[in-house]
Amino acid sequence: MKSLWFKPYSLKDWEASYPDTLVAHLDIKLIEIGPDFLRGTMPVDRRTHQPHGLLHGGASVALAETLGSIAANMAVDQTAFVCVGQEINANHIRGVRTGLVTGTARAFYLGRTSQLWGIEIVNAGGQLVCVSRITMAVRPLAP
């Protein structure tokens, strides 16, 4: 299968990209770059809980947007373009109290000015927790 990434990437390329950001605060980690997907994890703990001790839906959306945004930018020439979130939605399917959740981002559409990505988030047992879709705007970098 041909890779959809603009150039070859490794996980190390992204490890130090997010100090002092929401990504670091939520301990989101990239764990796998496949030819047509990007996968990452996020712990379910006090940082990501809502008041009833369940994974907060907003934390799931933060994981989804992180994976979709990184993947979108990996698919373009970053010396000429930047991809930014334009719209995101999520369906929360199953509650999670502890452990790790894993999200996988896959492209539905890669266009000249927009991209559409789907992100599935599963619990440690592989059960679907959340399905999200993000639209990314592809914009030229300012000169």
Checking if the pLDDT of 16 tops 80, the result is no
- What is the per-residue pLDDT across 106-142, written as a single tens digit (0 to 9) for each? 999 999 999 999 999 999 999 999 999 999 999 999 8
Sign of the CA dihedral 36, 82, 11, 130? Answer: negative
Does residue 65 have an active-site annotation? yes
- What is the per-residue pLDDT across 23-49, written as a single tens digit (0 to 9) for each? 999 999 999 999 999 999 999 999 999
> Pick the catalytic residue: 15, 65, 87, 120?
65
- What is the per-residue pLDDT across 47-89, written as a single tens digit (0 to 9) for each? 999 999 999 999 999 999 999 999 999 999 999 999 999 999 9
Structural tokens at position 13: 């390329």
Domain ranges of the chain: 12-140
CATH architecture of 12-140: Roll (3.10)
